[in-house]
Structure 1
């Protein structure tokens, strides 16, 4: 049995066994590898109708439970830069999410997600719940909630368009004529609005820095709207190609730089700006 990819579903039949003892008996993995895998979120336990990640190596399992392992050594070896705290408001916090960090995990792991990073690093420790998302390749501001009430309030704000979001993008081409330019092209049959303003243009590289405020939140909205304007984002492997004027070594140049939303509890408008040192820049 290969160690590279394993998917195991095991019915627990005896008392006094731990996940580690069971999985070392039925897989080629060592106890050390299993413990590491548990911390990275690829071991799950079903008890009744509830299935959740299992991280405690010494937890005694009971007959009738079902143990699940989703082991992929390539996934578990992935690493990302650390996120950076922008504001800790107690019941929520605002972070800079770097390129490559996920908003949410999968059954195979959650160790490269923003919520897992915050769970492990924020002091004092608190529950960490997602209220909105950034694509893996997009960097910038993201909010993590720490209570059920703030999660409800923040989720409602993001879903109800009571928030404001601005992004910076480096695009291929001359966008210097765009100031408050409205794009209202439908995406997937749904209304989508982006407002684009050019901040800088470099003739020698034929690249522009643009600011985009989105009035709606469609999938890949900014990337698709800019591509439609023949201003593809540098590093966009979905809606552009290196022939547009970027190198294969370049990451997606899209960053969330401004967030505003009503604070949970009192509804006071809170505004957050990404520190300039964390922003993307025209080279």
Structure 2
């Protein structure tokens, strides 16, 4: 079985049974497969207006609940790329997100996301107690580099406000097709995305015979803004399957978050995280 979408209504006749048993008996899957799917975020419990992932097969069910199973064998069999801890600030942490790791889960799974990986593994790395994980900004699945996660609701609220008001300095680098040294430094691109004003600043860093390394600063935060702006000015990012050159699939997307700088809203301490050269994109 490759994919299965299943909904079970809970009433007085079945509320005493385990969720894993109910789902297994209503599908061609074993209890072991159901429990694995639960741990990886494929099972949802709908209760009133609430809808949450169900991970414990033993959680009591109530009449009026609904169980949802979104089973995708291919996704469930995948293993996540492993992020690297850069800094543990207790209420927040900074990580290197590798290419291919999602920032958040889908209705099918969440074990392939950085927030779930950190939630289940951070205590093993840090030697501290388990901590909740709150996502306060995002990188595309294909974008690698520095990402900040929060571990208290207060920190998540404050950092979210800082990202929204652009009080956190974020810088990126990209490897593009062509010779970007012909473009003036601090080159401002103002081109609307989805009919919204969008601005980016690009600067040449280095080049070889085919590609250029470019520094990027975003003045706005539209979806795929860097990719769209570089493509618009004739320098598509290497490996960009959406906005790049046709047939350009020899490398992963060459886009990376390389700097995060901010004053912590809780401790008031200034931080400046710059991605180590060993983790940088190479021409």
Q: TM-score, normalised by structure 1?
A: 0.93
Structure 1 residue 86 and structure 2 residue 79: aligned? no
Unaligned runs of 5+ in 1: none
CA distance in structure 2 between the aligned counterparts of 1:249 and 1:221, rounded to whole angstroms? 23
Structure 1 residue 25 and structure 2 residue 25: aligned? yes
Tell me, yes or no, if the aligned pair for 2:80 and 2:111 is still in contact at 8 Å. no
Could you say which residue in structure 2 is the equivalent of 1:255?
A: 256
CA distance in structure 2 between the aligned counterparts of 1:109 and 1:75, rounded to whole angstroms? 7
1:44-63 → structure 2 map (5 Å cutoff): 44-63=44-63
CA displacement at 1:219 relative to structure 2: 1.1
Could you say which residue in structure 2 is the equivalent of 1:280?
A: 281
SS in 2 for 1:127: coil
Could you say which residue in structure 1 is the equivalent of 2:126?
A: none
Structure 1 residue 186 and structure 2 residue 192: aligned? yes
CA distance in structure 1 between the aligned counterparts of 2:121 and 2:276, rounded to whole angstroms? 20
For 2:206, which of 200, 219, 226 is the aligned residue? 200
1:24-173 → structure 2 map (5 Å cutoff): 24-123=24-123, 124-173=129-178
Tell me, yes or no, if the aligned pair for 1:157 and 1:262 is still in contact at 8 Å. no
Unaligned runs of 5+ in 2: 124-128
Alpha-carbon RMSD: 1.4
Could you say which residue in structure 1 is the equivalent of 2:3?
A: 5
CA displacement at 1:55 relative to structure 2: 0.5
Tell me, yes or no, if the aligned pair for 1:70 and 1:108 is still in contact at 8 Å. yes
Could you say which residue in structure 2 is the equivalent of 1:177?
A: 182
CA distance in structure 1 between the aligned counterparts of 2:56 and 2:279, rounded to whole angstroms? 36
- Runs of 4 or more above 4 Å deviation: none
Deviations 1:228-256 (A, max 9, x none): 1211100001111246xx4x231100010
Structure 1 residue 228 and structure 2 residue 228: aligned? no
